C-alpha cells in the first residue's frame, strides 16, 4: 500500500494538490501559501453510516479541515485565498466555496487513482480494495470491479453509470513531498459536518463535461496537452501546420527573381491544425555555416587572371582588348619561367605526368605553394529535435493525445495529386515558444518555417504494455525532428541593443 499523488489544481489563482492513500481511501489536500510552502488544509475521515440498509458494517466518507489556525479564527485557507485573489471573504463564504465547489473535484481525482489497478501491488489486491471501498466505506466515484456499480458523488449509495465527469488533473511535481509546517497533521482538528453544505449536490450528467474541461475548444483545429491548462500565465510551445506554398522563379511581374527566399512567411498559406505542448527541459538551438579549405597556386592565379580578362573582353566584343589580354598573359608566363626553380619544377611535373608518378617531390624536394585558405561556401539549415511524454489521465485526454499524434503524422506525409501522377510537398509547420500565455518568448530563439522530417512514437515508454479501460495506452513518447526550410541571414536580425527578443 502506498500514498499516490492524485494531481494538482488551480483554484482562483490558488495552487492546490492532493494525495490518496490506496490502503484506506483517504485523501489529503494541500495548498501553496504566500510563502510558496505546501501546507495541508483538509483531509477525509470515516464515520459509521446511521442509515445503512444493508446490514453490512458500512461507513461514510467525510471531509474536515486540518488547518491548525481555524480554531483561533485565523484560517490559513481563508487568509491565503483572500491574499492571492485580493478579496475579503469570510470563513463561512470560504467554506461554501471550498466544500461545495472544490471537494467534488478532489473526490473525482481520488476516484481516478483508486479505480486505476496500476496503483495496487497486483490485480487481486486491486479487486479486494476497490470492492471494500464500494461496499464498506462508500468512497465517491469508486467502481465495483465485480458488480459494476459505482459509489455516487455524495458517498451515500451506489448507482449505475458515471457519478461525475472525469475531470483532468495535472501531474505532481517530484521536487518535494508536501508537508505541514511542523511536519505533522493536526490530529485535533474538528470535523466539519458537510450535510448542509452538500445539500442540492447531484450527480452530474455526462453532457456537462465542458464544465469539468473548460479549456477544450470546440474546433479540433486546436489541440493541447495537458487538456486542462491552469488559468495562470504559463509558457508553452505552439506548433501550427500550414499548407506549403512553393517559391516561384518569377515575381508578380513575370521577371526572374534574383533572391527567391526573401520572405519566409510567404511559404505559409492556409492555416491548418494548431498543437500546444508543455515546455521541456532540453530546448536548444545550433547555428552553423559552411567554410572549407581552398587552394590557388601562383600558376593557377596567373591563368585565372588571364581568363577573367579574356572573358570580359569577349563579352564586350572588343578585339583590341582580347589581343592585349593575351599579350599580358603571355608576358606573365614568360616572367614566371625566368625563375630557375620553376623551370626545374615544371620539368619534373611533366615527367611525372608521363610516367604516372610523383616526380616533383623526389626530384626537387619541393611542392608548389597552394596558398591554402579557409573560404565561406554557404549557409546551413538548422534542425530542431523535441521529445514529449504524453500521459493520459482521462478518457477525453487520451482521445486528445490520439488526435495530436494523427495531426503530426498526417501533415508530414506526402500528398498525391488528383491524377496520381505527381507527389506534392507535405504541409509545413510554424513553431513558436510562447511566454506568459500570449507572446513570443523574449529569451528563446525564433523559428523560420519548418518541415517535419521525422516523427517517432513509442507506445510503451515505461517498458511494458499497459492500457486503460477502452484501450488507451497509459503513456506515449513522441519524438519530432524539424528542419527549417530556409537558412538564417544576418539581415534577419534586428538591432542587438534595441531588440526585445532573442532573434533567430
Rounded distance, CA 158 to CA 153, Å? Answer: 9
Which DSSP symbol is given to 368? -
**All residues at 6 or more sequence positions from 303 whose CB lies less than 8 Å from its CB, including other chains:** 329
Query: Residue 152 corresponds to which cell in the numbers above?
Result: 455516487
Q: What's residue 460's pLDDT? A: 92
Arithmetic mean of pLDDT, 55-76: 68
Arithmetic mean of pLDDT, 155-176: 51
Q: Dihedral of CA 92/98/104/109: which sign?
A: negative
Query: Does residue 250 or residue 30 have the better pLDDT?
Result: 30
Work out the pLDDT band at 205, boundaries 50, 70, 90. Answer: very low
Q: What's residue 405's pLDDT? A: 96
Angle, helices 340-355 vs 319-337, to 10°: value is: 90
Work out the pLDDT band at 313, boundaries 50, 70, 90. Answer: low
Look at residue 80 and give its three-state secondary structure: helix
Q: What's residue 250's pLDDT? A: 57
Work out the pLDDT band at 46, boundaries 50, 70, 90. Answer: confident
Q: What's residue 438's pLDDT? A: 75
Rounded distance, CA 116 to CA 125, Å? Answer: 12
At 265-287, the pLDDT tens digits run 567 778 889 999 999 888 888 88
Look at residue 480 and give its three-state secondary structure: strand
The domain locations on the chain are 3-204, 222-287+380-492, 290-377
Query: Residue 73 corresponds to which cell in the numbers above?
Result: 479564527
Rounded distance, CA 97 to CA 76, Å? Answer: 15
pTM above 0.75, yes or no: no
Q: Is the pLDDT of residue 65 over 70?
A: yes
Residue whose C-alpha cell reads 483517504 in the numeric block: 26
Q: Is the pLDDT of residue 315 over 50?
A: yes
Query: Does residue 434 or residue 330 have the better pLDDT?
Result: 434
At 249-261, the pLDDT tens digits run 655 565 655 555 5
Burial class (CB in 10 A: 0-12, 13-18, 19+), 470: exposed
Rounded distance, CA 106 to CA 94, Å? Answer: 16
Amino acid at each position: 500500500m502506498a500514498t499516490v499523488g492524485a494531481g494538482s489544481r488551480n483554484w482562483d489563482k490558488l495552487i492546490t494538490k492532493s494525495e490518496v492513500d490506496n490502503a484506506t481511501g483517504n485523501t489529503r489536500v494541500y495548498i501553496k501559501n504566500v510563502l510558496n510552502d505546501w501546507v495541508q488544509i483538509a483531509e477525509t475521515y470515516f464515520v459509521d453510516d446511521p442509515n445503512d440498509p444493508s446490514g453490512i458494517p458500512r461507513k461514510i466518507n467525510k471531509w474536515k479541515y486540518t488547518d491548525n489556525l481555524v480554531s483561533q479564527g485565523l484560517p490559513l485557507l481563508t487568509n491565503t485565498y483572500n491574499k492571492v485573489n485580493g478579496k475579503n471573504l469570510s470563513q463561512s463564504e470560504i467554506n461554501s466555496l471550498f466544500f461545495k465547489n472544490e471537494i467534488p473535484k478532489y473526490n473525482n481525482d481520488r476516484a481516478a487513482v483508486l479505480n486505476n489497478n496500476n496503483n495496487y501491488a497486483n490485480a487481486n489486491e486491486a479487486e479486494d480494495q476497490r470492492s471494500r471501498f464500494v461496499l464498506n466505506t462508500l468512497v465517491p466515484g469508486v467502481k465495483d470491479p465485480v458488480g459494476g456499480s459505482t459509489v455516487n458523488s455524495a458517498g451515500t449509495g451506489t448507482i449505475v453509470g458515471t457519478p461525475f465527469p472525469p475531470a483532468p488533473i495535472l501531474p505532481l511535481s517530484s521536487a518535494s513531498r508536501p508537508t505541514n509546517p511542523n511536519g505533522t497533521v493536526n490530529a485535533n482538528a474538528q470535523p466539519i459536518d458537510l450535510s448542509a453544505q452538500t445539500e442540492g449536490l447531484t450527480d452530474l450528467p455526462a453532457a456537462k463535461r465542458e464544465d469539468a474541461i473548460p479549456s477544450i475548444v470546440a474546433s479540433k483545429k486546436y489541440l493541447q496537452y495537458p487538456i486542462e491548462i491552469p488559468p495562470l500565465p504559463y509558457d508553452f510551445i505552439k506548433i501550427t501546420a500550414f499548407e506549403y506554398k512553393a517559391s516561384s522563379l518569377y515575381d508578380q511581374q513575370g521577371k526572374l527573381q534574383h533572391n527567391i527566399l526573401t520572405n519566409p512567411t510567404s511559404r505559409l498559406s492556409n492555416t491548418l491544425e494548431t498543437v500546444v505542448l508543455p515546455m521541456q527541459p532540453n530546448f536548444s538551438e545550433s547555428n552553423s555555416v559552411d567554410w572549407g579549405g581552398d587552394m590557388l597556386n601562383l600558376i593557377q592565379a596567373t591563368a585565372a587572371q588571364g581568363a577573367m580578362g579574356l572573358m570580359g573582353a569577349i563579352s564586350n566584343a572588343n578585339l583590341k582588348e582580347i589581343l592585349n589580354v593575351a599579350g599580358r598573359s603571355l608576358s606573365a608566363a614568360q616572367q614566371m619561367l625566368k625563375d630557375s626553380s620553376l623551370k626545374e619544377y615544371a620539368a619534373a611535373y611533366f615527367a611525372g605526368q608521363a610516367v604516372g608518378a610523383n616526380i616533383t617531390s623526389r626530384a626537387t624536394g619541393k611542392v608548389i605553394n597552394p596558398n591554402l585558405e579557409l573560404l565561406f561556401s554557404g549557409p546551413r539549415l538548422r534542425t530542431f529535435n523535441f521529445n514529449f511524454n504524453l500521459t493520459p489521465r482521462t478518457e477525453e485526454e487520451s482521445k486528445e493525445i490520439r488526435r495530436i499524434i494523427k495531426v503530426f503524422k498526417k501533415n508530414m506525409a506526402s500528398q498525391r495529386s488528383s491524377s496520381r501522377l505527381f507527389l506534392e510537398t507535405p504541409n509545413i509547420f510554424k513553431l513558436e515558444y510562447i511566454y506568459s500565455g500570449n507572446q513570443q518568448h523574449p529569451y528563446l530563439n525564433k523559428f523560420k518555417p519548418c518541415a517535419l522530417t521525422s516523427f517517432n512514437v513509442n507506445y510503451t515508454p515505461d517498458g511494458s504494455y499497459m492500457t486503460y479501460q477502452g484501450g488507451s495506452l497509459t503513456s506515449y513518447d513522441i519524438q519530432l525532428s524539424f528542419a527549417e526550410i530556409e537558412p538564417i541571414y544576418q539581415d534577419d536580425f534586428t538591432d542587438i541593443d534595441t531588440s526585445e527578443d532573442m532573434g533567430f
